[in-house]
Amino acid sequence: MAPVELIFFGPRNEEILAVLRPLDLVSDILSWYTHWLPEMYDLAGNRLYEDSHWKVPGIWEELQANRNYRILIIEAEELIQGYSIVKVLNHMGVDDKPCSYLSFIAVAPWNRSIVGPRRRIKGIGKVLFSWSLITGLRYNDNLAIELHSLPGAEGFYRHLGMMETGRSKEGMREFRLEKREALALVRPLLPSIIKKEK
């Protein structure tokens, strides 16, 4: 995947230039330990977020070499602002047809809506989700995508148009986005995709 230039908006509506790119394992792990990890816990070592327990460097390292997965990074201001991990091959959907599976998606702690007016960049999660759809389409010819959600993220997925399909073995709600709703999300990105591929 070639890097894609993106524009986001900061807290004062200022433009922030970013790039969507594949994982650079060594530098991204170093960045995660340096910037993300300290923001995931309070001073007493208590988890601040539902995903604070994710061992992200180990997950990246394990899945980077697996041909079934693609790891997407959004970088801006020399920091990882968010990432997603998409299983693009060998996932059968609830309709018994191949589709993508969004294994992980996370926005940097400083970009989460929970931090309120201190949030640095808006829209990272939605853009990552949309590019995950496009990435999956390139591999399995199906724009539908499925996932299981942490409880705190369920509202975000419903807002994107996903429908609940059941519960995972761990008790988390499972969601699916069908082609029509997926097209509505990716349509604004099509001009930049076409421009990049010319």
Domain count, the chain: 1
Task: Taking each helix axis as running N to C, give the angle between helix 124-140 and helix 179-186, from 0 to 180 degrees, rounded to the nearest 10.
Answer: 120
- Domain span including residue 17: 4-197
* CATH code of the domain containing 43: 3.40.630.30
| Calpha distance 160→71 (Å, rounded) | 21
From first to last of the 198 residues of the chain, give the pLDDT tens digit.
Answer: 789 999 998 888 899 999 999 999 999 999 999 999 999 999 999 999 999 999 999 999 999 999 999 999 999 999 999 999 999 999 999 999 999 999 999 999 999 988 877 889 999 999 999 999 989 888 888 889 999 999 999 999 999 999 999 988 788 999 999 988 888 888 876 555 444 444
| Calpha distance 157→174 (Å, rounded) | 10
